[in-house]
Amino acid sequence: MTNEQSSPAPEIENLMAEGRAFPPPPAFVAQANAKADLYLEADDDYEAFWARLARERLTWRTPFKRTLEWDAPFAKWFTGGTLNVTENCVDRHVAAGLGDKVAYHWVGEPGDTRTITYADLLREVQQAANALLELGVRTGDRVAIYMPMIPELPIAMLACARIGAAHTVVFGGFSAEALAGRIEDAQAKLIITADGGWRRGKPVDLKTAADEAAAQSPTVEHILVVRRLGDALPASMTPGRDVWWHDIVTRQVADCPPVPVDSEHLLYILYTSGTTAKPKGIVHTSAGYLLGTSVTHEMVFDIKPDDVYWCAADIGWVTGHSYIVYGPLANATTGVLYEGAPDTPGWDRWWQIVEDYKVTVLYMAPTAIRAFMKQGEALPAARDLSSLRLLGSVGEPINPEAWLWYHLNIGRERCPIVDTWWQTETGQILISPLPGVTETKPGSATFPLPGISADVVDSNGDSVPLGQGGYLVLKRPWPAMLRGIYGDPDRYRATYWGRFPGMYFAGDGAKRDTDGYFWLLGRVDDVMNVAGHRISTIEVESALVDHPAVAEAAVVGKEDPVTGQAIFAFCTVRADVETSDELAHELREHVAKVIGPIARPRYLLFTPDLPKTRSGKIMRRLLRDVAEGRALGDTTTLADQGVVETIRAGAGRADEE
Ligand code: 7RM
């Protein structure tokens, strides 16, 4: 993962040599929420464990009758129960006297800030929910949300949940086409968007993409638009279809009773890349999801009433859904919501926010940590980070060097680090230390949380002995697990439960060391992890071959010291096409248009042919060797041995952007 040529700083080398185990600081242990006996309780009877938590922590309209109905691989949790997610996230806190507590400190990019209390949230969610009703949205409908990181984003999500409509949030970095594909799959009636957002000091248009998507989407009746940019980028509004948030939401009454829904009522769909060109609509339902996210948020981040918690992800990804919106709000947490990038106006922006807001718990991705490492220690050292007491990591394996840098320079050796493994599909964190219990090892996500049964198996599905590697599987259902792929139960069964019958296969390789610690080894399928974003090789390939100049394309993730992987595209052009730098640029633009800027290949190499097996499968493994400048692995199954050498000879000329 890290660049092997650069050796770590001496103090990091010392720590690495020290044996690499970090017991929780005694002062932290004494006050920690989660104690070791939770593992015993959950092992004894995991259903009873979750049932106890569901009774204690959620506010029900109708108590549930059964904890779990498991008709593998289809789970129903807390059946017979009804509740409303927003009542749990907002109303009950206001009723308990926490109306003046801050829900979000919003920090916008050009220096804008806003403080939203739980009472504000209750008012605005009800107004927004009434606006949705006025726009014809009903319980059971789907709403697409395509927004920057502004307070109206969580408010829009909660407004949907209040009336029992499902949202599908589409990350603002996705293209109009990607948005349209998701709208079509979800059959969304309404798009909630903004004129745009701010990124690195510049306005970024969203409304035009929403318009393009709406033009392709017959189900869309209205577009609800938040004014974020105003004169900086005037949006065009289509009369009768488009409505401004400040026109329709602000004039609603702040009273919209929460609609009680069944525990298994659809809460949201979130699309994620898999091993095919079509993203999968991951289905999450109400009660189990809310329980799984809120319990893990409280246990793993040791959340206390006066914490200031900052998850520096985008709400467009599952990390934001679970650990910026639902988990933290269910726990009445005060959070930071940040619109901007880590480097604007300077690379100390995050440390300044920690100092200004006295952030106590910080959760971010290893790719960000590595980007900060490159900027040196002086920037965080110049800020007061003494409010921090716990640090988290998510999205990809954290290499020990980044872990130790985080520990030294951000945690100042006081703060436990929780490396949390989970997925869009799992909904909640599944493998992570408990910060007052677990001795950590840099680079290991340590152990499955209480109630979670994970294992590492070989290709026959048999558990491998400690010290060996294999495939990571989960052996029991958990409350926030995906309930399926929207509209496609067969694909759900085949994708996640088909490889090892009776077990959920996550798509990750893992090993356990002789102490039983889990070490995640990255994806074993054709999914890349670029700066913590999941991108499918096949999706990028199909975007490339969609361009008229391209005959064939193969895409691999090339190891990268900052982003984990970088997208490397090998393209074969049609016979009548001349390759050029301009064409390389045009192909990148094309991918950005089809999928979104996050999928733009960093490296692009025109090749006369691609290495294939005799059955015609592209051998991505060999291309990865080429991309990373390694000796080639086994080439015996290649149909044409010469191809890969030709490609290798040209690899140094790959166009880098
Ligand atoms: C939360 C999120 C899921 C994939 C997953 C892994 C990788 C995530 C870790 C990790 C090692 C971690 N959802 N991954 N967290 N690998 N250690 N702590 O990232 O659906 O977007 O991605 O991310 O490969 O399968 S996700």
CB 221 within 8 A of CB 238: no
Give Cβ neighbours of residue 2 (< 8 Å, ≥ 6 apart). 370, 399, 401, 402, 561
CA distance 206 to 195: 6
Low-confidence ranges of the chain (pLDDT < 70): 1-8, 10, 12-19, 614-616
CA distance 322 to 538: 27
Testing ligand 1's pocket by substitution, the residue of 275, 311, 447, 520 carrying the most ligand atoms inside 8 A of its CB is 520
Picking from 111, 193, 195, 121, the residue whose alpha carbon sits closest to that of residue 151 is 121
pLDDT given for residue 3 in this prediction: 32
Phi-psi region of 395 (alpha: psi -120 to 50; beta: other; left: phi over 0): left
CA distance 180 to 186: 10
pLDDT given for residue 5 in this prediction: 41
CA distances from 129 to 10, 187, 251 (A): 56, 19, 12
- In ligand 1, which atom is closest to the CA atom of 424? 20
Measured by CA distance, the residue closest to atom 10 of ligand 1 is 396
Testing ligand 1's pocket by substitution, the residue of 529, 530, 598 carrying the most ligand atoms inside 8 A of its CB is 529
pLDDT given for residue 397 in this prediction: 87
> Does the C-beta of 423 come closer than 6 Å to ligand 1?
yes
Containing 38, the helix (H) or strand (E) segment is helix 37-44
3-state secondary structure 485-534: ECCCHHHHHHHHHCCCCCCEEEEEEEEECCCCCEEEEEECCCEEEECCEE
- In ligand 1, which atom is closest to the CA atom of 319? 1
- In ligand 1, which atom is closest to the CA atom of 393? 18
> Does the C-beta of 272 come closer than 6 Å to ligand 1?
yes
Structure tokens at 621: 């493994």
CA distance 318 to 423: 8
Structure tokens at 584: 């390389």
CA distances from 312 to 33, 344, 477 (A): 23, 14, 29
> Does the C-beta of 396 come closer than 6 Å to ligand 1?
yes
- In ligand 1, which atom is closest to the CA atom of 533? 21
Structure tokens at 324: 């910026």
Measured over the CA atoms of residue 146, residue 147, residue 153 and residue 159, the dihedral's sign is negative
pLDDT given for residue 360 in this prediction: 98
pLDDT given for residue 1 in this prediction: 28
> Does the C-beta of 536 come closer than 6 Å to ligand 1?
no
CA distance 24 to 551: 55
Determine how many CB atoms are found less than 10 A away from the CB of residue 466: 13
> Does the C-beta of 319 come closer than 6 Å to ligand 1?
yes
- For ligand 1, the distance from its centroid to the CA atom of residue 288, given in whole angstroms, is 21
CA distance 475 to 455: 7
> Does the C-beta of 314 come closer than 6 Å to ligand 1?
no
- For ligand 1, the distance from its centroid to the CA atom of residue 636, given in whole angstroms, is 33
Helix (H/G/I), strand (E/B), else coil: 581: helix
Place of tokens 């900060």: 372
Testing ligand 1's pocket by substitution, the residue of 171, 406, 421 carrying the most ligand atoms inside 8 A of its CB is 421
- For ligand 1, the distance from its centroid to the CA atom of residue 520, given in whole angstroms, is 9
DSSP string for 73-97: TEEEEEET-EE-HHIIIIIHHIIII
> Does the C-beta of 407 come closer than 6 Å to ligand 1?
no
Picking from 631, 623, 612, 502, the residue whose alpha carbon sits closest to that of residue 555 is 623
pLDDT given for residue 230 in this prediction: 95
CA distance 593 to 599: 9
- Burial pattern 351-378, b for ≥16 Cβ within 10 A else e, equals bbbbbebebbbbbbbbbbbbbbbeeeee
The amino acid sitting at 246 is H
CA distance 293 to 326: 7
Testing ligand 1's pocket by substitution, the residue of 271, 369, 418, 423 carrying the most ligand atoms inside 8 A of its CB is 423
The amino acid sitting at 165 is A
CA distance 534 to 532: 7
- In ligand 1, which atom is closest to the CA atom of 419? 18
Mean pLDDT, the chain, whole residue set: 93
- For ligand 1, the distance from its centroid to the CA atom of residue 234, given in whole angstroms, is 38
Measured by CA distance, the residue closest to atom 5 of ligand 1 is 423
- For ligand 1, the distance from its centroid to the CA atom of residue 396, given in whole angstroms, is 5
pLDDT given for residue 629 in this prediction: 84
> Does the C-beta of 507 come closer than 6 Å to ligand 1?
yes
- Helix axes 152-162 and 118-134, enclosed angle (nearest 10): 60
pLDDT, tens digit (0-9, with 9 covering 90-100), for 485-510: 999 999 999 999 999 999 999 899 99
